[in-house]
Structure 1
Amino acid sequence: MVKILLNGCGGKMGTAITNLSKNYDNISIVAGVDKSPKDSSSYPVFKSISEVNVDCDVILDFSRPDSLDEILNYSNTNSLPIVLCTTGYTNEQIDKINEFSKNHTVFRSANMSIGVNIVNNILKSVSTILYENYDIELIEKHHNQKVDAPSGTALLLADTIKNTISEKIDYIYGREGVSKKKHNEIGIHAIRGGSIVGEHDLIFAGEGETIEIKHTAQSRDVFAAGSLKACAFIYKKAAGLYDMNDVLGM
């Protein structure tokens, strides 16, 4: 049984993870962290991760970037692997995570959906072929409470395309005024509204035809399932930096 400490347990994703975890025999959430604990939780909830006194095997984080230092400190003190599902980290924070993973077990992914990560691997195969004759645009849609824009997933997908192309690629975040597209640009457009869970639409527009690769998350359960799978995967793994490709064997 893998015992999970869930940081950000009171949020929408934390609630989805808690509910879905009840369907697993090999996983149990034994404690949570949230700034506004709720008495109705099925496990003890602490206001700060530094206050947690429950024995656990893995830290699962679905919170905010500003909690990173506390998580790394708790992981280091208690020798616990971390699954980081939070997005919106600064470059400095990403460097800190990468450095930490040299001596600790860390899993980090911009998106925990199996489908998104399969799309990402498809892009590794087709982007170089399509780039010569197609313009590339990316549209992402999320609910109106999402903090970061563009989404971490949008940047993951855009970076995958960029890294497969030898020419220098520039990102254009939305357009206004006189803005004729250059071929080496990838337009990234963020839409926020209502309760949209998450949509990512990659458009390859050529002469006389358009190819679209789209992923739509219809429920937060797809991210919850991926995060729980990651916790089971990383338990007792050696120090290093892991992601969904390792979980999927891709």
Structure 2
Amino acid sequence: MRRPACRHPGYVEYPDAKKSTPQCPAALRRPPRPTAARRAATSSGLVPFATGANCWSTGCRRGDTVLDVGCGTGLCLPLLQRKVGASGVIVGIDESEQMLQVAGERVAAHGWDNVRLVAAPVARAPIEGTADGALFCAVHDVLQSTAALDHIFAHLRPGAPVAAAGGKWPASWLWPLQPWVTALHAPFVNDFTRFDRPWQLLAQFVPDLRVHQLALGTGYLALGHAGAARSVSRR
């Protein structure tokens, strides 16, 4: 049975999650450069997106195995712990060893022994077995990687709850907000391609994806359930 979409006041749904979108200007593409310290310092601005993902996690149960894709410094780990409990397993994946060091300190401080941190690119991360859910929080570049999405969804059971949350360009009439959005996300976004609809590729893996706007359209929360794993279009 399809779970009802989670709604909060102020959310606005996008009826066509798969709608095409133009590519970003080359000037907004940048080489990888975020450090753990900088990401940790700026991640406080992403707390509303992580908190909003709690809506998705209601589909998780005690004992589930969940993937925290691009977990960074572990901002979402407390949320996931509350849902899966000590009998569950959380697999945090990030290619930055610096960020995982911070996440590891968070895990040690709380005494969590059910968290596995994997230092590897998402597309090549070793994932054992099949997971029961996946969270993509503030990982725009991962969501634009066909290889990463193929790999993650190959390790999700059909119907597993999936959520993506993060920033996006506001509507054109809110152009004064764009410099603020850029400054907030530039420390950990390498390429702003599809930043107006970051969920475009994800929608091809999540047939029932529903997208809601947050923070005057400068953020989004996308919720749904995994379909059959397959390759997505590179457009």
Answer yes or no: same fold by TM over 0.5: no
> Whose strand proportion is higher, 1 or 2?
1
TM-score, reference length from structure 2: 0.29
Could you state the TM-score of these two structures normalised by the residue count of structure 1? 0.27
